[in-house]
Structure 1
Amino acid sequence: MRVAFASEPAYPDRPNEDFIGATADAVALLDGASIPPGVTSACSHSVRWYSHTLGSTLLAEMTQSTGPLPELLAQGIKHVTSLHDFTCDLTHGGSPSATVIMLRQTARHLDWLVLGDSTLVLDTGTYEPMVICDDRLEQVAAPHRVRLNSLPGGTREHAEARREYVETLGQYRNRDGGFWVASTDPLAADQALTGTTPANQVRAAAVLTDGAADAVSRYGLMTWRQLLDTLAQDGPAELIRRVREAERSDPHGERWPRSKPNDDATAAYCHIT
């Protein structure tokens, strides 16, 4: 597997809370859930610490074990939790969390796992690629986003609505009827979307945080097929450049209502060999 990737923070002066790492036969992508001002957390560790610590753990696990990906994710969550359960109150709902994509190539198969709203796109040689994204967050969030979407970005009212929105979503995190992400409970791994595809049936794979997948899912700049073509021909950095261009054209969310003007964006293109 040949992997090319690019990752860019939402703003140059803020830490990138995405994680991307790859070996010759494995990729791990995590999108840390940003905590807006005003939302408290009983954990002293940053979202970036969580996504990068869990991401590097998962990548190491995939290179050392052929075990099922949900099992490796559960082990990874348990390990990272053990690193700070004596210093932080992990029973508090504001503990750092992240979406997860794990992709592993063996001699005959491509194993994948998706937890949360990051997106995996598999180019199977047909015109319409296979798109895997856990939409449970969107199902829960949509009814609570009405007020947020009605307010112009960059205003005090919008910032307050975003804080309320994030706090509300916290009530649905990692529970039945809500949505699931990696945080402190290893049982969340059992809720991931998983699959195995014969390696000879996949030409390439795109691994995207929502900040990069917005090129299709929010801004409609291209189709999923065109996204794959862009990654193959121009590279992941070009995809992110187009997303940033769209964001700059609509800084207050008038055309594309959203909770924040820019988002961390990470994209990887994996050519399956």
Structure 2
Amino acid sequence: MRVTFATEAAPGRPNEDFVAATPDAVVLLDGAGTPAGSDSGCSHGVAWYSRTLGSTLLTSMTQSGDALAGLLAEGIKSVASLHDGICDLSHPGSPSATVVMLRRTADAVEWLVLADSVLVLDVGEPMVICDDREAQIGAYHRVEMDSLPSGTPEHIQAHRRYVETLRSYRNRDGGFWVAATDPHAADQALTGSMPLDKVHAVALLSDGASRPVDRFGITTWRQTLDLLAKKGPQALLKQVRDAERSDPEGNRWPRGKAYDDATAAYCLV
């Protein structure tokens, strides 16, 4: 499997995404940032969580043929043990992340998607896999935030309230599920496999990198796959930044963050 990837932090912030690969496995995580003024109960931070869980998952994927959901559950448990007793893991804002895992076996491509990062399989037509439960719940709570210009004090405060409201729906029935401290979240992931000869390529995208399609509507999944194939992941990230810069106040595309961490991996299988 040939893998190329690129990742870029939102301007002025540490990168809370993580991506890594071997010839047969790829992981991509998008850490859920903690807004200014909010507490997480953790001294390590979101970037640490994404890096630590991501590297743990990649190691386990290369050493074990067990089901991806089981590897994710064990990974969540392992990372929790690294800061249990040091940090307050019961805090509703404890660091969390979306997870995409991709593994190539002798005859198939296997995947796992937890939360709103995106997996796109090129099987002639794009096959898009994304867990949109957070977006569905968030739609009921983001009206105030989306009505305010990005970057203003009022928008920043509304975004913090929005994030703190969504915490009450995190990792519970009727809500949405992410990797955090509860290994049972892995049971809620979307998983599947496809025969190897049916898949031409696969894209793994954080929600910052999928913005041109699912947030901005300026391109399609087919066009995104073609861009990745012809010019690589960095070209997609440039498309993201160009669009964000064209609408810094969120007038055209209301959003919680004017700029987001963006990460893309493209795999020829």
TM bin (shorter chain): over 0.9
Distance 2:66 2:212 in 1: 34
Which of residues 184, 197, 200 is equivalent to 2:197?
A: 200
Please report the TM-score for the alignment, with normalisation by the length of structure 1.
Answer: 0.98
Name 2:182's counterpart in structure 1: 185
> Can you give the 5+ residue segments of structure 1 that lack an aligned partner in the other structure?
none
**Which runs of structure 1 show a deviation greater than 2 angstroms over 4 or more consecutive aligned residues?**
none
Please report the TM-score for the alignment, with normalisation by the length of structure 2.
Answer: 0.99
Distance 2:151 2:164 in 1: 19
Distance 1:118 1:82 in 2: 25
Name 2:141's counterpart in structure 1: 144
Distance 2:220 2:14 in 1: 30
Alignment of 1:112-261 (within 5 A): 112-125=111-124, 128-261=125-258
Moved more, 104-113 or 35-44: 35-44
Distance 2:37 2:173 in 1: 27
> Can you give the 5+ residue segments of structure 2 that lack an aligned partner in the other structure?
none
Q: 1:222 Cα deviation (Å)?
A: 1.2
Q: 1:237 Cα deviation (Å)?
A: 0.3
Residues 1:109 and 2:105 are matched in the alignment: no
Name 1:18's counterpart in structure 2: 17
SS of match in other structure, 1:103:
strand
Name 2:66's counterpart in structure 1: 67
- The letter of the residue matching 1:193 is L
- The letter of the residue matching 2:144 is R
- The letter of the residue matching 1:37 is A
SS of match in other structure, 1:268:
strand
Q: 1:19 Cα deviation (Å)?
A: 0.3
SS of match in other structure, 1:21:
strand
Aligned alpha-carbon RMSD (Å): 0.6
Q: 1:184 Cα deviation (Å)?
A: 0.3
Q: 1:60 Cα deviation (Å)?
A: 0.3
SS of match in other structure, 1:113:
strand
SS of match in other structure, 1:177:
coil
Q: 1:221 Cα deviation (Å)?
A: 2.2
Name 1:87's counterpart in structure 2: 86
Distance 1:181 1:154 in 2: 27
How many residue pairs align between the two structures? 269
Q: 1:40 Cα deviation (Å)?
A: 1.1
How much identity, in percent, do the aligned residues show?
A: 66
Distance 1:252 1:185 in 2: 36
SS of match in other structure, 2:193:
strand
SS of match in other structure, 1:212:
coil
- The letter of the residue matching 1:203 is H
Distance 2:13 2:148 in 1: 24
Distance 2:217 2:51 in 1: 30
Q: 1:157 Cα deviation (Å)?
A: 0.7
SS of match in other structure, 1:169:
helix
Distance 1:107 1:45 in 2: 38
SS of match in other structure, 1:114:
strand
SS of match in other structure, 1:140:
helix
Name 1:7's counterpart in structure 2: 7
Deviation readout 1:213-258 (Å, 9 max, x if unpaired): 0011111221101100000001100001011000000000000000
Distance 2:199 2:50 in 1: 28
